[in-house]
Structure 1
Amino acid sequence: MSNRKLGLLLSVPPTHKSVDTVFQLSQAALRQRDEVYLYLIDEGVKNIRDARYEELAAGGVKLFACAYGCQQHQVPTEGISDKISLCGLVVLSGLIEACDQFLAFT
Structure 2
Amino acid sequence: MKFGILLSTHPDKGDGPAVQNLIQAAQKCGDTVYLYLLDEGTRFIPEEWVQNLPSSAVHVYSCAYGAQSRRINDPGKTTFCGLVMLTQIMEGCDRFVSFN
Gaps of 5+ in 1: none
CA distance in 2, matches of 1:104, 1:60: 20
Query: What is the aligned residue count?
Result: 100
**After TM superposition, what 4+ stretches of structure 1 lie above 2 angstroms from structure 2?**
none
Verify: 1:9 aligned to 2:6, yes or no: yes
Output the TM-score relative to the length of structure 1: 0.89
1:14 Cα deviation from its structure 2 partner = 2.0
What do the CA deviations read for 1:68-93 (whole angstroms, capped 9, x no partner)?
0001111123x232xx1110000000
Following superposition of structure 1 onto structure 2, how do residues 1-106 of structure 1 map, counting pairs within 5 Å?
Answer: 4-77=1-74, 79-81=75-77, 84-106=78-100
Does the 8 Å CA contact 1:5/1:36 hold for their aligned counterparts?
A: yes
The answer for unaligned runs of 5 or more in structure 2 is none
**What TM-score comes out, normalization by structure 2 length?**
0.93
Give the percent of matched residue pairs that are identical in Structure 1 and Structure 2. 38
- Tell me, in whole angstroms, the C-alpha distance in 2 between the residues paired with 1:12 and 1:57: 21
SS of structure 1 residue aligned to 2:96: strand
